[in-house]
């Protein structure tokens, strides 16, 4: 997988079933967030390298699409078994290069396996429709076929779950896949490559091409790539969507979120506080579905919630990915840490109240930030308007449920939201009126299981597609509808009809 030079590993791509050294001569540093050290060099592919990889994938696709769906599922089942067997090894790799705790890494692998499980149902999801004698002894039926070469561009915060969610169904329904992982966390993708190889996936059906914007643009522009699934920041998600569709590709592009937790006066405050802690600060808040905003309804609710939350936040422990006592780890880079601190500083200048200050966590090495909590944040503050990818969470106080719904609906993001309440009518009103793609009721992170569709609304998602769930079978296939008639000999040569055909 790697080449050692000056005690630093230089990684590879995975093309045509083989680990392949980069040719561009360009690399980027891979850091361990926990220790602040360079642990490898990631090759950055040129346009030519991407195009060569696509050609290899295209050649493999021609054979893969002819393999029965039953045989494809057998390979996926072996891949799943290997994922379970190698979970500890993969979790260690995820923790080292992303900074998240081992427990969190194992959690994401488990959620990724849900998408693999759904892909095992491809024979059912690929079934078409059949109608007998729709008119004139014509039978009509539909069939679903793979698109060809498809691409997935995945983020740093879920090195395994998101690639598995994006690609498992794409492979199961007969496509060849190009994965471009984040250059910050390439090891996990290469490890998945080894598992696919061991599972018996034909060479070229699975490709990993490492790179930066040049590689992304090459994927967007290559005419032999027919669909793209992307997860990342909203700015880049919008670019990928518009540039990809401009080149006639099917694109599902998932961006950021600003996820609210509404706490009603009748809610169990202890339950809400406990839920908020894990949903807000887990993985150092580097989740697009992390709760960003506590929105207590009424001053009495706000005072009770904030008072209890302050006590609990102060007990959270930040530590290395392999520290079993750590609640969460480091943020991904020093740049990320600096950006989060800047958001905190600016919000204080705008009038927010600092309840817990995590800016000055003591650590000789590593990109650590302690948990920060800010109260009395207002909707005009930047820290409310923008996604903050780090452990700085906020409270925005409101007077009524209607005010909460209106504020959330006015926000540009619509990824996830949740409400804590013991009032059924309030919960029903909330779920019906809220303009957000994934909604929870007394659920801290309303991310669907792998057999339900994932996707936000507004500027949290571009394109008509979902990252996982049954909709992925539709996204990665094309549908043909066939009208078929087998006339008897006596019917051949009847007079030509010029009127529009009907079923009469």
Dihedral, CA atoms, 448, 148, 163, 441, nearest 10 degrees?
A: -10
The region of weakest confidence among 96-100, 187-191, 447-451 is 447-451
Q: Which residues are catalytic?
A: 288
pLDDT digits (tens, 9 = 90+) for 370-424: 999 999 999 999 999 999 999 999 999 999 999 999 999 999 998 899 999 999 9
Tell me the whole-structure pTM to 2 decimals.
0.92
Looking up tokens 């008897």 gives 488
Is 2's pLDDT higher than 60?
Answer: no
* Predicted local distance difference test score (pLDDT) of residue 414: 87
Alpha carbon distance 157, 94 (integer Å): 9
Helix, strand, coil % in the chain, rounded to nearest 5: 40, 25, 40
In the chain the domains, ranked by start, together with CATH numbers, are 3-255+460-481 (3.40.605.10), 259-441 (3.40.309.10)
* Predicted local distance difference test score (pLDDT) of residue 503: 65
Neighbours of 262 (CB within 10 A): 26
What are the two backbone dihedrals, phi and then psi, of residue 364, each rounded to the nearest 5 degrees?
-70, -35
The region of weakest confidence among 173-177, 253-257, 395-399 is 253-257
Is 1's pLDDT higher than 50?
Answer: no
The pLDDT-based confidence of 492 (bands split at 50, 70, 90) is: low
Please answer whether residues 330 and 367 qualify as being in contact, where contact means their C-beta atoms are separated by less than 8 angstroms. yes
* Predicted local distance difference test score (pLDDT) of residue 448: 78
**Edge-to-edge, what's the strand order for the sheet holding 3-5?**
3-5, 8-10, 37-43, 27-32
Please answer whether residues 226 and 81 qualify as being in contact, where contact means their C-beta atoms are separated by less than 8 angstroms. no
pLDDT digits (tens, 9 = 90+) for 113-166: 999 999 999 999 999 999 998 888 889 999 999 999 999 999 999 999 999 999
């Amino acid at each position: 997988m790697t080449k050692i030079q000056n005690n630093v590993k230089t990684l590879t791509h995975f093309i045509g079933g083989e680990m392949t050294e980069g040719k561009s001569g360009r690399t980027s540093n891979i850091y361990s967030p926990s220790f602040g050290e360079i642990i490898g060099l990631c090759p950055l592919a040129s346009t030519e390298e991407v195009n060569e990889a696509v050609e290899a994938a295209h050649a493999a696709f021609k054979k893969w699409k002819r393999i029965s769906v039953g045989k494809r599922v057998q390979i996926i089942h072996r891949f799943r078994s290997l994922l379970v067997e190698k979970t500890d090894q993969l979790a260690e790799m995820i923790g080292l290069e992303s900074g998240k705790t081992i427990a969190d890494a194992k959690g994401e692998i488990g959620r990724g396996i849900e998408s693999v499980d759904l892909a095992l149902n491809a024979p059912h999801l690929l079934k078409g429709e059949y109608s007998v004698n729709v008119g004139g002894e014509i039978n009509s039926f539909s069939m679903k076929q793979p698109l060809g070469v498809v691409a997935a561009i995945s983020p740093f915060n879920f090195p395994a779950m998101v690639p598995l969610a994006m690609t498992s169904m794409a492979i199961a329904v007969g496509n060849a896949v190009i994965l471009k992982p984040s250059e910050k966390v390439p090891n996990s993708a290469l490890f998945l490559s080894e598992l696919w190889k061991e599972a018996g996936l034909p060479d070229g059906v699975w490709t990993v091409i490492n790179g930066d914007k040049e590689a992304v643009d090459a994927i967007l522009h290559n005419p032999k790539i027919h669909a793209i699934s992307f997860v990342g920041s909203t700015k880049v998600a919008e670019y990928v969507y518009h540039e990809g569709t401009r080149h006639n590709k099917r694109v599902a592009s998932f961006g950021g979120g600003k996820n609210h937790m509404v706490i009603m006066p009748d809610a169990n405050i202890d339950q809400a506080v406990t839920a908020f802690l894990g949903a807000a600060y887990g993985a150092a808040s580097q989740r697009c579905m992390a709760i960003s905003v506590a929105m207590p309804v009424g001053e009495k609710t706000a005072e009770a919630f904030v008072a209890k939350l302050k006590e609990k936040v102060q007990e959270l422990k930040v530590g290395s990915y392999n520290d079993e006592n750590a609640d969460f780890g480091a943020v991904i880079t020093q740049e990320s840490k600096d950006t989060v601190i800047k958001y905190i500083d600016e919000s204080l200048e705008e009038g927010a109240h600092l309840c817990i200050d995590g800016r000055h966590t003591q650590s000789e090495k590593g990109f650590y930030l302690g948990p920060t909590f800010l109260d009395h944040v207002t909707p005009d503050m930047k820290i409310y308007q923008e996604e903050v990818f780090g452990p700085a969470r906020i409270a925005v106080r409101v007077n009524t449920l209607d005010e909460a719904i209106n504020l959330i609906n006015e926000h540009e993001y619509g990824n996830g939201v949740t409400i804590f309440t013991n009032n059924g009518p309030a919960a029903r009103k909330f779920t019906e009126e809220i303009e957000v793609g994934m909604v929870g009721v007394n659920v801290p992170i309303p991310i669907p299981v792998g057999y339900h569709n994932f996707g936000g609304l507004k500027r949290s998602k571009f394109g008509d597609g979902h990252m996982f769930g049954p909709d992925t079978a539709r996204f990665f296939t094309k549908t043909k509808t066939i009208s078929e008639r087998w006339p008897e000999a006596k019917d051949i040569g009847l007079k030509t009809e010029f009127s529009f055909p009907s079923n009469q």
